[in-house]
Structures are given as C-alpha cells and as structure tokens.
C-alpha cells in the first residue's frame, strides 16, 4: 500500500487544500500490507477487458468512420472491420477466424444501413442524450475500480 502520493483535493464543491502531487521519496510504502486480491494474470486480464470496452478517441479519429471501433459481430462478438469498396460504399464485415482457421461466416453489411439504423435509434433518445453531460475522462483503473470489476 502506498500512502501520501498526493495531498489536498480536486473536488469542485468541497473545500480542501490545493491539490498537490508529492514526490516519490516522501511516499509511505507498506509492503505486503494485505494479501493479494488478484494475481498478475488476473490484473492483465482486467486491464485488457477495460481497454477493450473503452471507446478509443485517438483510434476513432484516425479512422475515417464515425462508428470505428464501435461495431461488433452479432454472431461471434468480434470487432467488425471497415472495408471500402470500389463503388465508394463501405462494407462492415467480420474477419474473425477460430483456432482452426474457420471463418465466422458473418458476411457483413453495407455501412450505410448500420448508420441509418443507429441514427434512427438515436433519434428516439435524442432528448435524453442532449441532456447528458459529455465525459471524456481517462478510464478509471484505480485499485478500487479494479477490485469492483473483479
């Protein structure tokens, strides 16, 4: 356990001393303060899970598509690939193959059908969506959150 990495607070409404990061040599480190709540393998698995669920803004910005990284195969749940076609349209398809090289078999669909369906379903939630605050925070990988996930 590590105590005293920071002092003060960042809470907007609660009054606290100004937030400060304390340098490493002044931390209070207690080795083996409690028995492990997860193995290293479990930790890696949790991180992978969190990363895969997170919408990755950098990745989506690099891609040309609004829905990049957000579409998953209905048959195998693998992330769908975007494939531009010669006629200017885009196909979204599953490229997952199993350990034996067998393809998933989902032949995909033209992107515009997916976009229309998404827009249609967003329209029914438009009012609530516009009321929601937009959060662009980094993913929460605090020990407490990792524990909750576990």
* Residues engaged in binding Zn ion (CB under 5 A): 73, 75-76, 78, 94, 96, 104, 106
Q: How far is CA 63 from the centre of its chain?
A: 16
Q: Which residues pair with 97 in a beta bridge?
A: 103
Nearer to Zn ion, 50 or 76 (CB): 76
Nearer to Zn ion, 38 or 93 (CB): 93
* Least Å from the CB of residue 100 to Zn ion: 15
Residue 72 in 3-state DSSP?
strand
* Least Å from the CB of residue 91 to Zn ion: 14
Nearer to Zn ion, 81 or 90 (CB): 81
Cβ atoms of 70 and 55 within 8 Å: the answer is: yes
CA distance 87 to 84: 8
């Amino acid at each position: 356990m590590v105590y005293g990495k920071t002092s003060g607070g960042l809470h907007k409404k609660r009054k606290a001393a100004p937030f400060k990061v304390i340098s490493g040599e002044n931390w209070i480190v207690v080795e083996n303060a409690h028995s492990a709540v997860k193995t290293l393998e479990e930790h890696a698995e949790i991180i992978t899970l969190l990363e895969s669920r997170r919408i990755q803004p950098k990745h989506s910005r690099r891609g040309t598509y609004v829905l990049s990284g957000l579409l998953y195969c209905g048959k195998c749940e693998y992330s769908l690939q975007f494939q531009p076609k010669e006629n200017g349209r885009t196909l979204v398809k599953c490229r997952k193959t199993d350990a034996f090289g067998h393809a998933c078999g989902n032949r995909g669909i033209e992107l515009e059908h997916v976009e229309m369906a998404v827009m249609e379903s967003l329209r029914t939630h438009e009012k609530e969506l516009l009321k929601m605050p937009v959060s662009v925070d980094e993913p929460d990988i605090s020990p407490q959150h990792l524990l909750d996930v576990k």
